[in-house]
Amino acid sequence: MKRILRYSLEFLVSFFIVQFFHCAKWFSPSDQSNVILNRTLIKLDRSEQSNLSFNTVMEPYDTIRDDLAREMFTKIRVLCWIMTAPRNHWKKARHVKNTWGKRCNKLIFISTETDNRLPTVKIAAVEGYDNLWGKTREAFRYIWEHYREEADWFLKADDDSFVILENLRYYLSIFNTSDPLYFGHKFKAYIKSGYMQGGSGYVLSKEALRRFVEIGLQNPTICSATEWPEDVEIGRCMENLKCKGMDTRDSYGRDRFLPVSLPIHLTLGIAEDTWLWDMHPSYYPIQRGFDCCSDTAIGFHQLTPSDMYLYDYLIYRVNPYGVKDVRSDIQTRPHPPPDVKLQEPPFPGPSAADLIWLKELKNRERSELDRFGQTESENYSDENFQDNDK
Ligand SMILES: *[C@@H]1O[C@H](CO)[C@@H](O)[C@H](O)[C@H]1NC(C)=O
Ligand SMILES: *[C@@H]1O[C@H](CO)[C@@H](O)[C@H](O)[C@H]1NC(C)=O
Ligand SMILES: *[C@@H]1O[C@H](CO)[C@@H](O)[C@H](O)[C@H]1NC(C)=O
Ligand SMILES: CC(=O)N[C@H]1CO[C@H](CO)[C@@H](O)[C@@H]1O
């Protein structure tokens, strides 16, 4: 009896030791994650050969299980156009089509070269980062000419943006597209009434788009024909055309359009991204931690192509078992944003003392995050996934 007990005990101990190393192997930051990522890459490459991701019919309803979302899909029609470039058709844009782009009522890729695999709309503009404004003008002109009857709202996004269309429709449901409105994350520099940052997407009402194309594009004193960052230029144009740049925060002041990567919003906060803070401060106060971001968030920015699948999976496919909707106050219509009448002055930014405190915090947290990043994800980068064009 004693011997049996001893053997059982020994077996149990060795079992746990083996399991421990087994687990440790999985959690070790070395090769394992690479292998997993590599498998994803191989899969993506195969779909290139088999045309899987490009030539499939878009079936938005496949992804919309909820009756309410389905109803919103038909009532609040959103045309999405994606600014892309020839070298990114395959590298980035197709991943938008494979993920969130499916949920737009109409999805259009604007580029300077035809590519039937996406497909793209080729517009007559010079390619290049310095020429985005020219591309934007031509894109909106094309969309107004060809698709004005097919949508109520017109979203511009990049090939590294992610948009939750259901939350966009929910937010837009309190507005009238016959009013001259435009929406996004508002920055306060350059333009008196602010402008919407381009990366997390911005949205024009039909009336704003009409004014832009029929009035603005005819008159270079209203909409400049010179090259400046496109989001600043469209902001200037919107101001001149008396289109209102709306507050898109939720009623708790949390952002719905998130201009930098989500991990930054959730940890350091965008005020501590000095580049952003010095050059392009936000119009409204911003918050960090979970209060940074609304539970009805809409636009995200700075995603790698693999992030598209990560977001899609976490937002649409995972359901924590036994948890339906943790929010008790979700309304059939959203509460208006805090500054719905656009009377708040621009947020002055932190005081000098705050800035010193922020700087210390930033150095401390960034070095902690960097250390974490080095051990956990240094080797996640892969040639095919590098975002090296900005
Ligand atoms: C990834 O796959 C390629 C071949 O497809 C191979 O050459 C490379 O060594 C792999 N990398 C890792 C980290 O497994
Ligand atoms: C991919 O599409 C092209 C053009 O439509 C076609 O010629 C080719 O056979 C397709 N490849 C596969 C593997 O289906
Ligand atoms: C939207 O505004 C237009 C013009 O101002 C008006 O005719 C229309 O009835 C409004 N629609 C709704 C749903 O309020
Ligand atoms: C943390 C980690 O595993 N880093 C490795 C990443 O890849 C380089 C080169 O392949 C290694 O030298 C690092 O040790």
Which atom of ligand 2 lies nearest, measured to the CA of 51?
A: 1
Instruction: Write down the pLDDT at residue 39.
Output: 45
Determine whether the shortest distance from the Cβ of 35 to ligand 1 is under 6 A.
yes
Torsions phi, psi of 203, nearest 5?
-130, 135
Which helix (H) or strand (E) element contains residue 182?
Answer: strand 181-183
Of the two residues 106 and 317, the one the predictor is more confident about is 106
pLDDT beyond 90 at 84: yes
The CATH number for 2-325, chosen from 3.10.20.30, 3.30.470.30, 3.90.550.50, 3.40.50.970, is 3.90.550.50
Give dist(CA 244, CA 195) in Å, integer: 10
Give the closest residue to 228 by CA, choosing from 123, 137, 346, 156.
Answer: 137
Which ligand has the minimum distance to the alpha carbon of residue 382?
A: 1
Average pLDDT estimate for 262-287:
71
Q: Whose CA is nearest to atom 3 of ligand 1?
A: 38
Ranges 5-9, 50-54, 64-68, 376-380, most confident: 64-68
Ranges 117-121, 178-182, 313-317, 344-348, most confident: 178-182
Average pLDDT estimate for 214-230:
89
Which SS3 state, helix, strand or coil, does residue 102 take? Answer: helix
Domain boundaries, the chain: 2-325
Supply the mean pLDDT for the chain.
Answer: 77
Give the closest residue to 382 by CA, choosing from 320, 307, 317.
Answer: 307
Q: Whose CA is nearest to atom 12 of ligand 4?
A: 379
Q: Whose CA is nearest to atom 1 of ligand 1?
A: 38
pLDDT beyond 90 at 46: no
Determine whether the shortest distance from the Cβ of 49 to ligand 2 is under 6 A.
yes
Q: In the structure encoding, which two tokens stand for residue 364, read together?
A: 């401390």
pLDDT beyond 60 at 101: yes
pTM above 0.95, yes or no: no
Q: What angle do CA 153, 85, 83 make, to 5 degrees?
A: 15
Instruction: Write down the pLDDT at residue 163.
Output: 98
Determine whether the shortest distance from the Cβ of 29 to ligand 4 is under 6 A.
yes
**Cis amide prior to 119 (ω within 30 degrees):** yes
Which ligand has the minimum distance to the alpha carbon of residue 40?
A: 1
Q: How far is the CA of 35 from the centre of ligand 1 (A)?
A: 8
Determine whether the shortest distance from the Cβ of 30 to ligand 4 is under 6 A.
yes
pLDDT beyond 80 at 269: no
